[in-house]
Amino acid sequence: MPDRWVLVIAAGYWQIPLIETVKRLGFRAIAIDRDPNAPGAKIADRFEIVDITDVEGAVSLANDIGVSGVVSDQTDISVPTLAKVTSALNLPGPSPEAAYNTTNKARMRELSKLAGLQNPKYRICESVDDGKRAIEEDHEDAPGGVGFPCVVKPTDSQASRGVRKVDSRKELVPAIEEAFEYTGEGRILIEEFLDGIEVTVEGCRYAGETHLLGVSTKKHTPPPHIIAMNLDFPAPFPGKTHEEIHRMYNALVKALGISAGSIHGELIVTGKGIFLVEMANRGGGSGTSSHVIPAISGVDLLEANVRFAVGDERRVERTLEKASVLRFLLFPPGKVKEIKGLKDAQNIHGVVRTDLYIKPGDELVPPVMDTQRHGYIITVGEELSEAQRVADEVERAITVTYE
């Protein structure tokens, strides 16, 4: 039988498990990325330098090769490209509309409102002046104004770029200007700050069935820059809260028009109910879809994704009910001299995967976005406390010395 190729959009560190899945399922993997040194380039059977937002480039390459499917995961940036390329080639994928709905935070607010779900007070702003007015100006979506504290963010970015909590007028304009730096479409959102517990919802939709496979509580660095530091699966909530989260999840999947694929959402559970932060039609990043979800549910989201992409969509069935911790590592600022203990940490029982993004010689700085974190730990256990204990052990095992 001739080789069957699958195009993988993006070849970064977290696309490697997807490229490996493509190969494991008997396909040849061709990956694209604008970075010739992308770590997935060496893992794929073939690699081409094509920017992951270059739809024409990806379509022409896919046509030349005659690919059987196109996949991507764990990053929002490639989702609109994936949708456009699969539409152009008449292959299974998210619709361009679902891709837009799940990557544009202003659109998410509008759709959740249309579906009768509650939103924080919010305003979509096209200029700094719009943003300044949004705080007090009475509006249908922000009765009495958004007020302080609020969150200022680009409508169409990710990895917490340009996302800031703002407590007072003097912080407002710099935050608005920063958010405008990161928007591709030239719009930002100013939202009421939701005071509650943030959760992520991880799942998928295949064969007409929506599955919720993991719910975590997410902890961050202290504001102004909001960077995720620890996710505990399952969220330690009573059953009633889990039921409400499940209902909200199902309603959002429907409202955003997600017909198939992996799903990663972020919600905030407050005393006044559950609110959407954002929901994506892709797997959760930093190993959530590739490592955490299989470890806790037995569902191989990457395999389901690849099979769907090549027209072999199958029902998904949960077989496990375990706990996991995804924790990020941050070390103090300074120039790294030596890193010790990583190999030992990787062998600790209960570690699914742990790795560092830093190496000797690197200058560590306090992070302002997710991509500047220094490493991660993924553990599994029968109970959350066990998974947490293993993560603590890993943290103690890895040490960094400075020049």
Ligand X SMILES: Nc1ncnc2c1ncn2[C@@H]1O[C@H](COP(=O)(O)OP(=O)(O)OP(=O)(O)O)[C@@H](O)[C@H]1O
Contact set with Mg ion (CB under 5 A): 266, 278
Residue 220 interacts with which of Mg ion, ligand X, none, CB < 5 to 8 Å by class = ligand X
Cβ at position 317, least distance to Mg ion in Å: 29
Q: Identify whether the C-beta of residue 194 lies closer than 8 Å to the C-beta of residue 275.
A: yes
Name the residue among 273, 278, 230 with its Cα closest to residue 255.
278
Cβ at position 139, least distance to Mg ion in Å: 24
Residue 202 interacts with which of Mg ion, ligand X, none, CB < 5 to 8 Å by class = none
Cβ at position 285, least distance to ligand X in Å: 7
SS3 content of the chain, % helix, strand, coil (to 5): 35, 30, 40
* Choice between 79 and 228, CB closer to ligand X: 228
CA neighbours within 13 Å on the CB side: how many for 113? 14
Cβ at position 283, least distance to ligand X in Å: 13
* Choice between 73 and 370, CB closer to ligand X: 370
Residue 194 interacts with which of Mg ion, ligand X, none, CB < 5 to 8 Å by class = ligand X
* Choice between 282 and 322, CB closer to ligand X: 282
The rounded distance, in Å, linking the Cα atoms of 232 and 352 is 14
Diameter over CA atoms, the chain: 66
Residue 103 interacts with which of Mg ion, ligand X, none, CB < 5 to 8 Å by class = none
According to the 3-state scheme, what is the secondary structure of 140-152? CCECCCCCCCEEE
* Choice between 193 and 331, CB closer to ligand X: 193
Residue 206 interacts with which of Mg ion, ligand X, none, CB < 5 to 8 Å by class = none
* Choice between 151 and 260, CB closer to ligand X: 151
Cβ at position 60, least distance to Mg ion in Å: 32
Torsion angle, CA of 70/76/81/84, rounded to 10 degrees? 90
Cβ at position 247, least distance to Mg ion in Å: 21
Residues found near ligand X in the complex (CB under 6 A): 105, 120, 151, 153, 157-161, 163, 191, 193-194, 198, 220, 226, 228, 266, 268, 277-278, 370
Closest residue to ligand X, based on beta-carbon distance: 194
* Choice between 44 and 276, CB closer to Mg ion: 276
DSSP letter string over 220-263?
EPPSSB--EEEEEES----HHHHHHHHHHHHHHHHHTT--SEEE
Which pair of tokens denotes residue 266?
């972020």
DSSP letter string over 320-377?
---EEEEEEE---SEEEEEEESHHHHHTSTTEEEEEES--TT-EE---SSGGG--EEE
Cβ at position 278, least distance to ligand X in Å: 5
* Choice between 177 and 393, CB closer to ligand X: 177
